[in-house]
Amino acid sequence: MAIETLSSQQSAAWKDRVLPPVEKVAEGVWALPVPIPNNPLVYTYCYAIADGTGVVLIDPGWDGKDQYLALTSALADLGFKVADIHGLAITHYHRDHIGLAPALLAKNPDAWIAMHGEDLRAIKRFYTNAVDLGTGVDPNLNIARVYGVPEDRWAEVESLQVGSSKGGSKNDSMDLYKQAMSQLPENIHVLDDGSELPLEDGRVTAMWTPGHTYGHSVFVRDEDKLFFSGDHVLPTITPNIGLDSGAITHSLGDYLRSLEKIGQLDEDVAVLPAHGFRFTGLHDRKVELVEHHHERLGEIRARMEATDDHSVYSIAAGLHWSRGFESLHNFNLFAALAETAAHMHYLGIDIGVGSLVGKD
């Protein structure tokens, strides 16, 4: 079944990188775009699911005044007040997904939050500063050295370390996670594979899909074949694999297994991703994503044979990047190196990172 958009409005907005309109996507389910500031992804879809007398949100989106207003006024148009939010289901802990959770929970302390235990642990690790928020490893270790980054570029990777003033919005993220930990409600549902969301009405189950983050979860509503895919499966882009703290080394193996797992779902499910547009053709998209990573592995094997320098940096420099390796700086450079490291680890190549990865 070929990949086909289910919304011409959403795919047009994605193509133009503008905010799409709020749309009803199924009976009692709406897609509410929440803007992400200064980011090529432009928005995250928050999905609102009618739940008896109120509503449940999957991924409330990035935090901020404008975002809060965008989300709450879209909900108001649908007839829901903040007090009507019964709960928040989180696909993974990244800021463009969980960001608004603390603000919503502060206004509505009776609401529950549901997320996988591994992503809760990741937030705690950031909160306690046991690992670096930018690199996901022990902040005392020099990831740039381990990856073989030439000395004249160390500052770019080190700028991501905690305490650096060059880290951009990173310190805001630290505040966010602190806030998130201090405002977690009593009513917290730690998800595992197969857990059901505590809905008043209807049945939505979680599936554990580690890869993009170790605790990444997707949600499935069987009755009308809805698949809330988070960042696990996106229509046109591939999620970053290799940045998650605690799981950098095995993230690609996890991700490929998680792709196999969603092959159990019906071929004609409606895929409701966090970015892009909703579509059908899950199995074809799955095959494309698997192929993408196998091509990457093939490229890495070829590069390994072509050069004697088997450092992560040297291998990454020889791979194809959409805007060229030279154009990668700071965070993007580190993301490319982490992704290369995850692929090298998958091939059984010792990258010297195993001992660096943050532990609880």
Return the residues of window 263-302 that contact Zn ion according to CB under 5 A: 274
- Of 15-23, 119-127, 178-186, 229-237, the segment contacting Zn ion by CB under 5 A is 229-237
Q: How far is the CB of 42 from Zn ion (least distance, A)?
A: 11
227 backbone dihedrals φ, ψ, rounded to 5°: -125, 105
Judge contact between 10 and 23, C-beta under 8 A.
yes
Minimum distance from residue 228 beta carbon to Zn ion (Å)? 13
Find the DSSP H helices in 89-164: 95-98, 101-107, 117-127, 143-146, 154-158
* Residue 284: both structure tokens together: 């074809």
84 belongs to the binding site for Zn ion (CB under 5 A): no
Burial 113-146 (b: 16+ CB within 10 A, else e): bbbbebbbbbbebbbeeebbbbbbbbbebbbbeb
- Residue among 148 and 239 whose Cβ is closer to Zn ion: 239
Identify which of residues 212 and 296 has a Cβ nearer to Zn ion in the complex: 212
Q: For Zn ion, which residue of 96, 119, 158, 339 counts as binding (CB under 5 A)? A: 96
Task: Count CB atoms within 10 A of the CB of residue 185.
Answer: 17
Buried b (16+ CB within 10 A) or exposed e, 150-177: eeeeeebbbbbbbebeebeebeebbebb
Number of residues that bind Zn ion (CB under 5 A): 3
Q: Does 254 bind Zn ion (CB under 5 A)?
A: no
Q: Is 231 in the site for Zn ion (CB under 5 A)?
A: yes
CB of 274 to Zn ion, least distance (A): 5
CB nearer to Zn ion: give 70 or 300.
Answer: 70
Binding of residue 119 to Zn ion (CB under 5 A): no
At its nearest, how many Å lie between Zn ion and the CB of residue 311?
Answer: 30
Question: Looking at beta carbons only, is 60 or 139 nearer to Zn ion?
Answer: 60
Distance of closest approach, residue 239 Cβ to Zn ion, in angstroms: 8
Q: How far is the CB of 114 from Zn ion (least distance, A)?
A: 18
Minimum distance from residue 212 beta carbon to Zn ion (Å): 8
Distances (CA, A) of 286 to 105, 282, 307: 35, 6, 32
Beta-carbon count within 10 A of 318 CB:
16
Place of tokens 């605690």: 246
- With a CB cutoff of 8 Å and minimum separation 6, the contacts of 57 are 46, 47, 48, 49, 85, 87, 88, 89, 104
Least Å distance between CB 354 and Zn ion?
27
315/338 with CB nearer Zn ion = 338
The piece of 192-200, 227-235, 263-271, 286-294 that touches Zn ion (CB under 5 A) is: 227-235
> What Å distances lie between residue 151 and 5, 112, 135, 154, 313, CA to CA?
46, 48, 18, 5, 12
The answer to whether 118 contacts Zn ion (rule: CB under 5 A) is no
Per CB under 5 A, which region of 4-12, 89-97, 106-114, 252-260 contacts Zn ion? 89-97
The two structure tokens encoding residue 139: 């902040």
Nearer to Zn ion, 41 or 78 (CB): 41
**Cα–Cα distance for residue pair 105/118, rounded to 1 Å:** 21
Binding of Zn ion by 63 (CB under 5 A): no
Q: Which residues bind Zn ion (CB under 5 A)?
A: 96, 231, 274
